[in-house]
Structure 1
Amino acid sequence: MSGSPDDGGRLIRPYSLTRGRTRPSRSDFAMTSQVVAVPTVAPPTDLEPEHHSILDACAAPASVAELASRTGLPLGVLRILLSDLLDGGHVMVHESQWQRRRPDVHTLRTVLDRIRAL
């Protein structure tokens, strides 16, 4: 994605990768959401190199956090590009039950009290 000016690499600003967008078009992806590329006969030709990089990184299921690490993309940029891929039908995203239904405050306090009792 980027390189330092000293090593001859090109420096790409995050806003240019996202075309100025600061939020994904879909809901924000949790860092633990699992992403997997949808298998295709031929790679899509209408995508940017960063999109292809993400598709390569999620050929097998990977979390959003893993994808950020593997691609070297900032998390905010990755989420926007993932949104593009999801809109285009190039990836599937799976959220865990924990992400869909978070425990209430009473449950969290009970767990914390029991941990402290140990």
Structure 2
Amino acid sequence: MTDHTEGTEGRTTSAVRPYVITGGRSGTGGEPLAWETLVMATEAAYPSALQPEHVSILAQCQGLLSVAEVAAHLGQPSSVVQVLLTDLLTWGLIVIRPPIPTAERADVTMLRKVLHGLESRL
């Protein structure tokens, strides 16, 4: 008789398929969260019927974590984490802080005028 458990001690990923975790959903139904979006659990009490992955996210997000960090901690693809985070956001169990948009590039002509003005005073 062979032992089917040998070689599984080092396994770090879940044996549950991602489509099972998300209930067959592959998208968030809206714009996905950016990798840099910060996530934090709220103080709201959550139902005991949550999936283990939801509970794991809530436990990890007691402070601010990015979407990328949540995915790394869960060991799940970003698409799965996006669906789970959208669930938690819809239920009011997390709050998000979107990334700060990159600053628009300054007008080069204005910068040249400032530079010439400074040079003329020196």
Q: Where on the TM-score scale, by shorter chain, does this alignment land: which range?
A: 0.7 to 0.9
Larger Rg, first or second structure (1 or 2): 2
- Tell me the equivalent position of 1:55: 58
**Structure 2 gap segments, 5+ residues each:** 109-122
Moved over 3 A (4+): none
| Cα pair 2:37 2:96 within 8 Å, conserved | yes
Q: Percent identity?
A: 33
- Tell me the equivalent position of 1:95: 98
Task: Report the alpha carbon displacement of residue 102 of structure 1 after superposing the two structures with TM.
Answer: 7.0
Greater fraction helix: 1
Specify which of 68, 71, 83 is matched with residue 71 of structure 2: 68
Q: SS state of the match for residue 7, structure 2?
A: helix
User: What CA distance in whole angstroms lies between the structure 2 residues aligned with 1:78 and 1:56?
Assistant: 14
| Cα pair 1:26 1:83 within 8 Å, conserved | no
Whether 2:48 is the aligned partner of 1:45: answer yes
- Tell me the equivalent position of 2:37: 33
Q: SS state of the match for residue 6, structure 1?
A: coil
**Under a length normalisation based on structure 2, what TM-score does the superposition of the two structures give?**
0.71
Correspondence list, 1:3-14, <5 A: 6-7=7-8, 11-14=15-18
User: What CA distance in whole angstroms lies between the structure 1 residues aligned with 2:29 and 2:54?
Assistant: 15
Instruction: Kindly provide the CA deviation profile for residues 6-41 of structure 1, in whole angstroms up to 9, marking residues without a partner as x.
Output: 31776111100011111013420000000000013x
| Cα pair 2:46 2:93 within 8 Å, conserved | no
Q: Give the counterpart letter for 2:73 in structure 1.
A: R
Instruction: Kindly provide the CA deviation profile for residues 32-59 of structure 1, in whole angstroms up to 9, marking residues without a partner as x.
Output: 000000013x442121000000111111
Instruction: Kindly provide the CA deviation profile for residues 78-108 of structure 1, in whole angstroms up to 9, marking residues without a partner as x.
Output: 000000000100000111231xx774xxx39
**Structure 1 gap segments, 5+ residues each:** 111-118
User: What CA distance in whole angstroms lies between the structure 1 residues aligned with 2:62 and 2:47?
Assistant: 14
